[in-house]
Amino acid sequence: MSAAIEVDAISKKFRLYREKPSSLKQRLLSGHLRAEDFWALREVSFAVESGTSTGLIGHNGSGKTTLLKCIAGILRPTEGTIRYGGRVAALLELGAGFHPELTGRENVYLNAAFLGLSRKQTDAVYDDIVGFAEIEDFMDNQVKFFSSGMLVRLGFAVAVHVEPDILLIDEVLAVGDESFQKRCLDKIRSFQADGRTIVLVTHALDTVVAVCDRAVMLEHGVVHMQGTPMDVVAELRHRLLRDDPDFVAEEGTREVEIRDVTILPGGEPGQRLHPGEDLVIEVDLLAHEPVPDVDAAFAVVSAHTNEVVLVGRTSDMGSTLGPIEGSRRMRFRVPATDWVGGKYFVSVGLEAPGGSPYHIQTQRYSFEVVEAERLPVPLVVDARFELEDP
Amino acid sequence: MLGAIWSVLNPIVFLAVFTFVVKILGNETPHYAVFLLSGLLAWNLFSVALGNGTRSVIDNGNLVKKVSFPREVLPLAVVGVALFDFLLQSCVLLIFMVVTGYGFHLEALILYPLSFVTLVVFTTALVFWVSAVNVRYRDVQHLIGLALLVWFWMTPIVYPGGLVQDKLTAPTAPFTPHLWTVYLLNPLTPIISGFQRALYYTVTAPPTLGTPHPVRVLPDVSIAWLAGVIGLVLAGSLVLLYLAWRLFFRLSGDFAEEL
């Protein structure tokens, strides 16, 4: 496979002026210019294999849109180069590339021309474009009278019908009703089936997992992580949680302290839990002073959905730990259950029964569930039936 | 279609107004319409392209910010539109000259393509330059408006260049003949004079019944000399075009941020 896009160590510097002179007059009157350099991207490198789909994700302001604009050729990187293995079409913003004074029809030709199509080639796909966008009746109206949904539909319709080798999409599909979003996804899938390349910037992380083959996470303008969408999305979700002002990583009086937690999938050291294995969470704790009783608890959070999937508490299991003095080791044993594949985070807490927390560590530990091979055999379940007179 | 009418209407109205004004003030230039239009059409090409070209990038800011396309298309399109207008207006002038039986002088017509190419190169170079600079310094467009006003009156378009030559090279004129040399430094003077010489041709009109003395119209220079000067302007314009093109490309990388 060859690379459709090769981003080689690109950096993008913006100059932030305190007071940017927007006229020659101001420029001449204000002598020294005070400007600060802001690096929106630093040494970003990654490659998109031909025929694959990559999701670019990150916080707001992490540089993903700047990166996409560089790839689209709208911004010129300050340093580094980008190589392409085909024709690029970009779908950046609502109504981007549309001229408000022109009619829908004229704008289709204008946009197709931007994407490198001749008038004749556009004639050939014009009906398909209008059909996909479902705005036949409005094509001779000026675009400034279009609703935002109509603009997005038309923009997307043009971009996918000019048959680019590489399609760049930035967060536009969020507009439009569900049926259109579904058709967009269908179109994207048929696009993928044709062996075309897609780069997608979005905050809809589920879309990245559902659509992309790879994901790249940016943070403060550098590539923080790249890998499978599942892993990268999990990492971003975790980061987002950490940045939440309500999120407290650790709290408690520390009279009894969590020294260490080891996740033991199947009772063995490791990171990957296979189907049918028990999950063992081993907690080393240290009581600085003897305490009469400790209630221990754990929670397992799916990194993918960010929801708590499992909780356990010693007091609910029949007893608490009892008096603790010095260092002790305890284990939770979670029997095998129907795990969904993916990454999980583990929170652990110690507290006085019915009292204040000694020590709580939120989502500090993690493990991964290896998805069970789906057997092509129908499952025989323990179903029941009833028979009664109508 | 409507656009074509507007484009042809402009020189006609201009002609009507100037003929009227000049009639009141007294005008000795024979066939003033041909004289005026032969220079004015070239000036229109220049001023319309420069005026619109200055704003060409910022007027299309929404495209520049969101769509990738060769940025040089924007100023080039403005020059193209001005060229199209020039073509239409020239057709009107040509028809006028044929209908009124105004003669053509083949030996001077050689100046026409030379002047035309020089004008287009010079105009394109300036349009590239100001359209790029105007993105950062928005008042360049006001400056251009002022410059065009001064430039128009510094160039022999509505008044005969020959008269200027006579005044500035007269033995009693101050600094004679250096002011005439300074006047010729305006690159549009040789270009416009080239158009006028090619179409209007007359340097000195012979006495007629109405005006019993010869009338100076165009500068008294040989066609070869004029061609040489226009050639120099062309060479300079080509260098300017190269520099403006490079400047445009250097600045165009930042257009999307500046807008």
Which residue ranges form the domains of chain A, and what is each CATH number?
3-17+35-243 (3.40.50.300), 255-369 (2.70.50.60)
Write down the pTM of the prediction. Answer: 0.75
Q: Sorting pLDDT into bands at 50, 70 and 90, what band is B81?
A: very high
Is residue B51 over pLDDT 70? yes
| pLDDT tens figures, B151-186 | 999 999 988 998 889 888 888 878 777 888 889 899
The answer to whether B23 faces chain A, any CB pair under 8 Å, is no
A114 at interface of B, judged by CB pairs closer than 8 A = yes
Q: Does B254 touch chain A (CB under 8 A)?
A: yes
**Mutation site for B-interface testing, chosen from A23, A87, A158 by largest number of B Cβ within 10 Å:** A23
Mean residue pLDDT of chain B comes to 89
Residue B172 touches chain A, beta carbons under 8 Å: no
Q: Which residues of B75-110 are buried (b: 16+ CB within 10 A; e: fewer)?
A: bbebbebbbebbebbbebbeeebeeeeeeeeeebee
Q: Do B68 and A88 touch (CB under 8 A)?
A: yes
Interface contact B68, partner A, CB < 8 A: yes
B7: containing domain: 2-258
**Residue A253 in this model has a pLDDT that exceeds 90:** no
What per-residue confidence (pLDDT) applies to A17? 72
CA A382 to chain centre: 38
What does the pLDDT look like over A94-119, one tens digit per residue? Answer: 667 788 888 888 989 988 888 778 88
User: Which pLDDT belongs to residue A172?
Assistant: 65
| Mean pLDDT value across residues B45-53 | 94
Model confidence at A306: pLDDT above 80: no
**Cα separation, A152 vs A147, whole angstroms:** 9
Average pLDDT taken over every residue of chain A: 84
In Å, how far are A12, A52, A199, A233 from A169, measured between CA atoms? Answer: 20, 14, 6, 18
| DSSP strands (E only) in chain B | 204-205, 215-216
Say yes or no to pLDDT of B91 above 80: yes
Residue A241 or residue A165, greater confidence: A165
Write out pLDDT tens, residues A136-186.
888 888 888 888 888 888 888 888 888 888 888 887 666 667 777 788 888
Task: Locate the chain B residue with the closest alpha carbon to A159.
Answer: B67
- At A17-59, the pLDDT tens digits run 766 667 777 777 766 666 778 888 999 998 999 889 999 998 8
What is the DSSP code (8-state) at residue A310? E
**pLDDT value of residue A171:** 73
Closest approach of A373 to chain B, Cα-based (Å): 45
What are the chain A neighbours of B256 within 8 Å (beta carbons)? Answer: 69, 74-75
pLDDT surpasses 80 at B26 = no
Q: What pLDDT was estimated at residue B155?
A: 95
Q: Nearest-CA distance from B252 to chain A in Å?
A: 9
Please list every residue in chain B whose beta carbon sits closer than 8 Å to the beta carbon of residue A74.
Answer: 64-68, 256
* Cβ–Cβ below 8 Å for B143 and A24: yes
Q: What is the distance in angstroms between the Cα of B130 and the nearest Cα belonging to chain A? A: 12
Mutate to test the interface with A, among B67, B73, B136, B259 (most CBs of A within 10 A): B67
* Least confident piece of the model among A226-235, B128-137, B224-233: A226-235
pLDDT digits (tens, 9 = 90+) for A173-206: 666 677 777 888 888 888 888 888 999 888 888 7
Helix axes B223-252, B188-199, angle to 10 degrees: 130
Token output for B31: 């066939």
CB pairs under 8 A between A and B: 47
**Closest residue by Cα to residue A203 from A177, A228, A172:** A172
Report whether pLDDT(B203) > 60. Answer: yes
- Most trustworthy range by pLDDT among A178-192, A337-351, B82-96: B82-96
What is the H or E stretch that residue A43 is in?
A: strand A35-49
Residue range A308-322, pLDDT digits in tens: 888 988 888 888 888
Q: What is the pLDDT, as a whole number, of residue B190?
A: 95
CA distance B192 to B155: 8
In A, which residues are within 8 Å of B64 by CB distance? 74
pLDDT at B1: 59
How many folded domains does chain B comprise? 1
Tell me, letter by letter, the H, E, C secondary structure of A255-294: CEEEEEEEEEECCCCCCEECCCCCEEEEEEEEEEEEECCC
